[in-house]
Amino acid sequence: MAYILQVDFPHDGIFGEEFSKAFIDLANDIAKEEGLLWKIWTENKDEKSAGGIYLFSNKNDAKRYLDKHKARLEDFGYKDIRAKIFDVNLSLSKICKADFIK
């Protein structure tokens, strides 16, 4: 089984290459998270929002990481953080080219 964690929040700041440079250390830290298979970083300059889509190998690690990440974002001054954890439907996802998920 696999689990998606979806997180987004209002972000009125830097985007694109500046965002990448500013958060490279955070990305390297996140990459070491237990149970994390991958993360897609998301940003929308027009809507002033940022976040990520994460794939975890188990629900406990997804929940643990969500608590940690939400606290970290709040420490950075972010508010209105929205997050959801979804079960991945593997059989349908594999039909739609997600055959890399185990």
Give the 3-state DSSP-derived string for the chain, with helices as H, strands as E and coil as C: CCEEEEEEEECCCCCHHHHHHHCHHHHHHHCCCCCEEEEEEEEECCCCEEEEEEEECCHHHHHHHHHHHHHHHHHCCCCCCEEEEEECCHHHHHHCCCCCCC
Say how many domains are in the chain: 1
CATH code of the domain covering residue 37: 3.30.70.100
**Residue 101: inside a domain, yes or no?**
no
**Which of 18-22, 28-32, 89-93, 96-100 is the least confident region?**
96-100
Please tell me the predicted confidence (pLDDT) of residue 57.
96
| Range(s) of the domain holding residue 90 | 3-95
Question: What pLDDT score does 99 carry?
Answer: 81
The residues, any chain, with a CB within 8 Å of residue 75's CB and separated by 6 or more, are: none
pLDDT at 100 over 90: no
Higher per-residue confidence, 46 vs 101: 46
pLDDT of residue 60: 98
Q: Residue 26: its pLDDT value, please?
A: 95
Query: What's the pLDDT score for residue 1?
Result: 86
pLDDT digit string, tens, across residues 22-78? 999 999 999 999 999 999 999 999 999 999 999 999 999 999 999 999 999 999 999
Handedness of CA 24, 59, 34, 92 (dihedral sign): negative
The answer to whether residue 102 is domain-embedded is no
**Number of residues in the chain:** 102
